[in-house]
Amino acid sequence: MATHTRLQTLSVIHDQGIMPLFYHPDAALGKEVLRACYDAGGRLLEFTNRGDFAHEVFRELNVYARKELPEMVIGVGSVNDAATAALFLQLGASFIVSASLREDIALVCNRRKVAYLPGCATLTEIGRAEELGCEIVKLFPGSVYGPEFIKSVRGPQPWTSIMPTGGVTTEVDNLRGWYSAGAVCVGLGSQLIGNEVLKERKFDELTAAVRQALSDAKELRK
């Protein structure tokens, strides 16, 4: 089961404001990525369920994090059905993310008191997600809707917490736009953990990039 409660997980997401997204089939390399993020002060990461045997890689990463990086909150993204969600919950995922709203996943996560962040793109979807107990919804792809969508939603619904993913970069002006619109957190994938970093194993550069992104997020959200 998850080592972090739903409330703890949600608190970290709100506090950190940046959720790095990452997938690689090599667990040894994944551990280096986790360590680099942790050394930068990062305490949140989404492992994306993309390749064959991804659950085996996640298990190894989560076991490593529990021993070596105890404050790291790790969840799993690109989960598309309840069975897959249950598998990752059994392996200790602290949160589950999907590209679309899946009510079957919401029910499974609620039973285990684990945070579920579904992808939503309309007010109807957002409203239904909140009825299902989702505290934060994912706006995906963020580049299609932009910060104005979040601003428009939060006008009549200031209680709604939205995390855009896709179209978010580490550039200060880009981050400022999302946070100013009311984004509670932003998902950063290849813009933060790029292919060159992984291929060339530039983990010191990754630590510096994560540290800078966290610092920018903190400053912009004051």
Question: Which pLDDT score, from 0 to 100, does residue 99 have?
Answer: 96
Low-confidence ranges of the chain (pLDDT < 50): none
Token readout for 202 is 């530039």
Q: Residue 81, CB half-sphere, CA atoms under 13 Å: how many? A: 2
pLDDT of residue 222: 86
Q: Which domains does the chain have, with CATH numbers?
A: 6-220 (3.20.20.70)
CA of residue 77 relative to chain centroid, distance: 7
Do the Cβ atoms of 189 and 21 come closer than 8 Å?
yes
Q: How far is CA 3 from CA 6, 69, 87, 134, 188, in A?
A: 10, 12, 16, 19, 24
Give residue 1's pLDDT.
87
pLDDT for res 5: 96
Summarised one tens digit per residue, pLDDT across range 153-162 is: 999 999 999 9
Amino acid at the residue 94: S
In this predicted structure, what is the pLDDT of residue 106?
Answer: 98
- Give the rounded distance of the alpha carbon of 212 from its chain centre: 18
DSSP the chain: --SS-HHHHHHHHHHH-EEEEE--S-HHHHHHHHHHHHHTT--EEEEE--STTHHHHHHHHHHHHHHH-TT-EEEEE---SHHHHHHHHHTT-SEEE-SS--HHHHHHHHHTT-EEE-EE-SHHHHHHHHHTT-SEEEESSHHHH-HHHHHHHHTT-TT-EEEEBSS--S-HHHHHHHHHHT-S-EEESTTTS-HHHHHHT-HHHHHHHHHHHHHHHHHHT-
Q: How far is CA 187 from CA 56, 67, 104, 117, in A?
A: 23, 26, 23, 12
Residue 49 has what pLDDT?
98
pLDDT digit string, tens, across residues 17-35: 999 999 999 999 999 999 9
